[in-house]
Structures are given as C-alpha cells and as structure tokens.
Amino acid sequence: MIFRSSGIAGDRDLDCEASIESEFDALIARALAAGWSEDEVANALLSLAQTRIEASRADNFAGADLPGGRLSH
C-alpha cells in the first residue's frame, strides 16, 4: 500500500517509511529465503543505504554553485 505524505515536514520521513515498509519486509524475506542470514541481510541493506546517501550527497555537492557553498535547487 502506498501512503501519501501528510505535507507536514516532520512527518515526511515517517510517511515514507510507512509507504515502503511492506516492500522492505518482502525484500528481507526474499533474501532470507535465498539463504542469507539476518546479519548478512542487515549489513547489506545498511551498506546499500550508506552508498545511496553518499551518492546523493556527492550529486548535491556537484550542484553547489552558489556563493557560500549553498546548493542551488
């Protein structure tokens, strides 16, 4: 089920989490069924999330062309 954000800035992270939780759980179930351990799955997900964050930050940094290091949007 896909939920939409309430529009309240503080709720967006929680809304996003609720929106993708079932797919996240299904991904974990598939990995466990394929024979990976809970620790292996958790470490892989953490690594993938960290890589995504670093890539996003690098993309944002590349777009920083305003004085004072502010990002252009």
44 within a domain of the structure (yes/no): yes
Q: For residue 20, what are its two tokens?
A: 């993708």
- Residues in the chain, overall count: 73
2 within a domain of the structure (yes/no): no
Integer distance in angstroms from the first to the last C-alpha of the chain?
30
1 within a domain of the structure (yes/no): no
* Domain count for the chain: 1
For the residues 18-42, what does the mean pLDDT come to? Answer: 98
Instruction: Name the residue with tokens 């179930």.
Output: 29
Residue-range definition of the domain harbouring residue 55: 9-64
Distance CA 41, CA 32 (A): 7
34-48 confidence digits (pLDDT tens): 999 999 999 999 999
For the residues 8-36, what does the mean pLDDT come to? Answer: 93
Q: For residue 11, what are its two tokens?
A: 């709720």
pTM: 0.67
pLDDT at 17 over 50: yes
